[in-house]
Structure 1
Amino acid sequence: MSNKLKQYGQRSIKYLITSARNMLIPIFSVILGLLAGAGIMLVSGYDPISGYSAMLNGIFGDEYYLGETVRQITPYILAGLAVAFAFRTGLFNIGVEGQLIVGWLAAVWVGIEFDLPKFIHLPLAVLSGAAAGALWAFIPGLLKARFRVHEVIVTIMLNYTALHITNYLILNVLSDKQDKTENIAESASLRSVLFENWTDLSRMHWGIIIALACAIIMWFILEKTTTGFELKAVGFNHHASQYAGMSVNKNIVLSMVISGAFAGLAGAMEGLGTFGYAAIKGGFTGVGFDGIAVALLGGNAAIGIVLAAALFGGLKSGALNMPLEAGVPNEIVDIVIALIIFFVASSYFIRWILSRFSKKGVK
């Protein structure tokens, strides 16, 4: 009995040490990134204390800044979920940006064209964005399942296809030769008077609730359902899954469709919440590509993605205040943000080094 208690105690201590290390490594990585960014500002002749104070003020300075930060976090959560869901099931969805764009357009189109009560119109517009993203992701999923065409190549090409098709539709179908559509109906808007009053008229909207709910949904699907088990099994080993009686092709397509739905929702949040219209884009929004980094930094886990999206959203939102309040040029701001992200991403490398040292210590 005493030996069992001793073994249990040793396992508990080991678990606590591992958990503490896993929590401290990302924090240490952020600190390294901040120090590196401070060095860049010093070399460039700017005060890092003023710069970072301006960044923090841009994130938490008042209700308006806080609301804008939450608004920025919302699409990052959904884009990160889209990348992570595909990755957890053995696929690499580089087409989140394109799926986001078509989801944005579809949601806005429903928000403009229909005149319905809000309890019908808003869910219909949101689901239309998800359906458009899912449909756009269905194409590479089908090509992967039927012809084994690599999804990375197809999704990259479909990003450009989505960009130019949506621009054409906005210019020639939805806006009568204008560079943006009319505003969506109030019954399809995610904006809230409650949030506007709380956050001093910021653009924060109900999308943050949808994004957090989607994080829970992803966790539930992958960890608590038979479908999630099959999706992960197929991603891990096609041949073994097929031998066990699972439909490999069906699960490949399903994985891409769910991933695309998350991406389409990210676009719907922008169209129905942040902007309220769809506009011609001279280039990509960047949210879909940033979603790759969010997913990787979050370890492809739901809670990790929420935290990584909070970091990304905070940096993006706070950085807007650095040129205004501290006089730091936009170029330096971009370098500082890139360094912080680089060191956070290097947490994997730091963890690997520590694990190597711990193994040598055991020997």
Structure 2
Amino acid sequence: MKSLLYFEGEKILAKSGIGRALDHQKRALTEVGIEYTLDPESTDYDILHINTYGIKSHNMVKKARKLGKKVIYHAHSTEEDFKNSFIGSNQLSPLVKKYLVGLYTKADYLITPTPYSKKLLEGYGIELPIAAISNGIDLKKFTPSIEKEQKFKEYFNIEKNQKVIICVGLYFERKGLIDFVEIAKKLPEYRFIWFGHTPMYSIPKAIRDIVKEEHPENVEFPGYIKGDIIEGAYSAADLFFFPSNEETEGIVILEALASHQQVLVRDIPVYHGWLQENINCYMGRNNQEFQSLISQIVEGKLPSTKDEGYKVAEARSIEKVGLELKAVYEAVLKDTKNEEQSLSFLNMKNN
């Protein structure tokens, strides 16, 4: 059994959650002994496992079909999470939905990160089998490290006893960036750091202005930072605050939970069933609640949810994701064998 993992625009998307999802897939398949190739010219594979949605992705599906290969589409995106992102995204979202459905329905099987995103896809009228499989998390990578934490503190000149709240995400309104800044204005005694980057030309002026200059002194947008500094930030900060309005999962939440970090999110449907309020995280519904919760969490006035939060990440380890991917691969190839047996029977009958 061998798959072709296809990822169009890898350099552009490398800084996004989808980019990290591909790395996790490679690791997960290796863990369970499934061979894969990244070569789009290859014909030596059984399943095309495709992650992206451009014209080249569309052509890859057509090519795989001509070769008689099975196709699994990894449905990372929905109309809902396309809105409130790039310039013109809200106007384009109905067309994006139509395009996504057209692509997804060309597959034999869909994989999507959560039961919530699976429900959305089923609501689009897609009748293919759909598996909800987490994008997974590398637990070892996010194990707290004193050395990494020190690098983070030195990089940002974190003063002793200074309270730091972090978020990781693209510069999208959907991610809650506006609320993040508004709440920071109300809490000038804390530092707020938003990690991540999106090309300025692609985002609405209101968001662009906030990132460039229209934010208070206690808010920082250092851009995309990887390696020891961001990994140290995850565990050294006082809180991971993720006010996103829409996600299909949120890999950054898993990264924070794996770092034994305190997590505060918005109460939205995607988290229902795996994040539990006041048990493995805290949840807010508006800026007033967020402001109150942030103060209570960083000042130690609320019970820690770190240990229970880590269990959520643990259940979504790379190794466990690998086993789930393997099960889907086997189901898809089993259908292939059944089809071959049926064709063989028909040929014998006709002869």
Structure number with greater CO (CA < 8 Å, separation at least 6) is 1
Above 0.5 in TM-score? no
More strand by percentage: 2
**Alignment TM-score, normalising by the size of structure 1:** 0.24
**Alignment TM-score, normalising by the size of structure 2:** 0.25
